[in-house]
Amino acid sequence: MATWEELSRDCLRSAKLLAEEGQFRSSVNRAYYAAYCAIAGELVARGLSFAHGWNNPTHDQLPQMVSSNLPLAAGTRRGINRRIRILRGLREDADYRPAAAVDRADARDCLQQAAWVLRALGIDDD
C-alpha cells in the first residue's frame, strides 16, 4: 500500500520521464498530481474529512483547505495555492482541451512548480 508521499514522488518522477520523451500533455498531468498528492497527504495527516465522504479533497476545495489547515507561513500557503492553480489550469488544458497547445516549456514549468510544492511540504523531490 502506497502513501500519499510515495504517490507524489512517483508522479513527479513520471512527469520528468514523460517530459524527456516528449509526452508533454502526460507530463503536465503527472506534475499536477505530484503536487495534489503532496497536499492531500498533508491534509489527511491532519485528520481532515472531505466532501462526498472521500479519502482526499476535491480539486476545487484544495486551495481553501491549504489556506485553512496547513500550519505553514502565510507566504508559503499562498505560494502553494498559486502553484496548484497554475498546475490545475495547465492539466485541464492538457487533459480536456485537445486544441490547446501544451509544449516543452509548459511541461518544464509544471515540473518546477510541482517540485516547489513538494519541497515546501518537506518532501524530497529526488
Domain range list for the chain: 4-120
Q: What is the pTM (predicted TM-score) of this model?
A: 0.95
Length of the chain: 126
pLDDT at 126 over 70: no
CATH of region 4-120, choose from 2.60.120.1310, 1.20.120.330, 1.20.1250.20, 2.40.50.180: 1.20.120.330
Asked if 90 contacts 102 with a C-beta cutoff of 8 angstroms, the reply is: yes
Residues 55-113: tens digit of each pLDDT:
889 999 999 999 999 999 999 999 999 999 999 999 999 999 999 999 999 999 999 99
C-alpha distances (whole Å) from 100 to each of 35, 53, 86, 89 are 22, 34, 15, 11
| Spatial CB neighbours of 120, under 8 Å, sequence gap ≥ 6 | 72, 76, 79, 80
pLDDT at residue number 92? 98
